[in-house]
Chain A
Amino acid sequence: MADLSTQIPCDAARRVAAALLHANGGTTACLQMPPLTGDISNAGQIGVDAPGYQSLPLSPAVFRKSRVTLEEGQLPRYELLVSADAVAAQVSELQLSSAQCLFMMAAGVVIAGKLFRILAFTASETQGQAYLYRLLLQEAAGEWPM
């Protein structure tokens, strides 16, 4: 049976999430996105040309170590909590269909000059609207400064 109860959507959850992220150290994470005009040459597909990634800032965000049992030789994993407002702004700016599309396109995330790979992502939602995105990250093996 359909749920016909009245639900008035409001942005309260989004605003609360953004305020909490700000209050808990709100940092800026930069998604590494491919340029809007890609490299169509052969060299661009065989690792010769630099990809020319663009930095897309997401703020406020909170970066923390995730509670995963570590095994020997395994790189630690981290969590990035990002405000849905910040993600929505970038999705709209790039004219993408969804946040999922944005994260799938990203080659990684730079936080405090270090590159992290995106292992998974999920959205926390209320009334069918995302108010927070959670990204599971792993430190990139190449420890070059970004």
Chain B
Amino acid sequence: MQNAKDTFYITLRTRLAAVNPARNITLRSVSRPGILVQDAEAPMIRPLLDAFALSWTGLQADLQLPAILAEMTCEIQYSTAGTAANAGLDRGRALEELDYEVLKLLYPYSAQKMNYTQNPAAAMETMVFWSEPEFGPIVSERDCLSRTAKVTVFAFQDQGES
């Protein structure tokens, strides 16, 4: 299941670099596309604005199939306070841009499962695929707008995969 989670994150990160190369973050001294896995980073005092944070919540396994099918819920959280040039009055527009990027990042809804613990990464036998996003309501806190989009990610366990 970890390989599926890693594949999902790195697929979205690669697509973000193509969809909006300007959306970057600097985290742990590395400048990278503005997406991160929350459980692979130190807890943050405040969420990073204008970036996507993935957190893995639900998990179900279908054991009735020849291979175990894992069904995992990924929450994509993002927040914005708009831009300095517009004194934050464009925060609604900035959130809409993030919403649109979520749609672009998720399509197509599948990727070849990879093992990123090896260097170079090795392709595995199955695919990872996921649902369309379910957008939650906008949460407004002070001058910041946030939203969470839920995606269900499916992956078969490969032979010998832990």
Return the chain A residue nearest B46 by Cβ: A104
Chain B: CB-nearest residue to A141: B43
Check: A146 CB closer than 8 A to any chain B CB: no
Is A48 part of the contact surface with B, judged by Cβ < 8 Å?
A: yes
Residues of B within 8 A of A37 (CB): 29
The answer to whether B30 touches A120, judged by C-beta atoms less than 8 angstroms apart, is: no
Q: A16-51: contact bitstring with B at CB < 8 Å (1 yes, 0 no)? A: 000000000000000010111111111111111001
Q: Is A99 an interface residue (CB 8 A)?
A: no
B104: min CB distance to chain A, Å: 21
Task: Report chain A residues within 8 Å CB of B39.
Answer: 47
Q: Does B42 contact A (CB under 8 A)?
A: yes
Shortest A63–chain B CB gap in Å is 19
Complex contact A39–B45 (CB within 8 A) = no
- Contact A108/B42 with A41-B119, A43-B119 known, Cβ cut-off 8 Å: yes
B: interface residue count bin: 20 to 34
- CB of A44 within 8 A of CB of B43, answer no
Q: Which residues of B contact A36 (CB under 8 A)?
A: 29
- Give the shortest distance, in Å, between A68 (CB) and chain B (any CB): 17
Residues of A within 8 A of B6 (CB): 42, 46
Task: Indicate the member of B5, B45, B117 with the most A CB atoms within 10 Å.
Answer: B45
Known: A108-B42, A117-B43, A120-B45. A45 touches B29 (CB 8 A): no
Chain B residues with CB under 8 Å of A88's CB are none
Chain A residues within an 8 Å CB radius of B28 = 34-35, 38-39, 44, 51
Does A46 contact B42, Cβ atoms closer than 8 Å? no
Contact A38 B116 (CB under 8 A): no
In the assembled complex, how far is the CB of residue B162 from the closest CB belonging to chain A, in whole angstroms?
Answer: 13
> Are A104 and B29 in touch, CB under 8 angstroms?
no
8 Å CB contacts to B: which residues of A97-146? 103-104, 107-108, 117-121
Q: A48 contacts which chain B residues (CB < 8 A)?
A: 116-117
Q: Which residues of A contact B84 (CB under 8 A)?
A: none
Is B36 positioned at the interface, with any CB of A under 8 Å from its CB?
yes
A-B contact pairs, 5 of them (CB 8 A): A38-B30, A41-B119, A44-B30, A45-B13, A47-B40
Which 3 residue pairs spanning A and B have beta carbons closest together? A38-B30, A38-B29, A107-B42
**Besides the contacts A38-B29, A107-B42, A108-B42, what 7 more A-B pairs have beta carbons closer than 8 Å?**
A35-B28, A36-B29, A45-B36, A45-B37, A46-B9, A103-B45, A120-B45
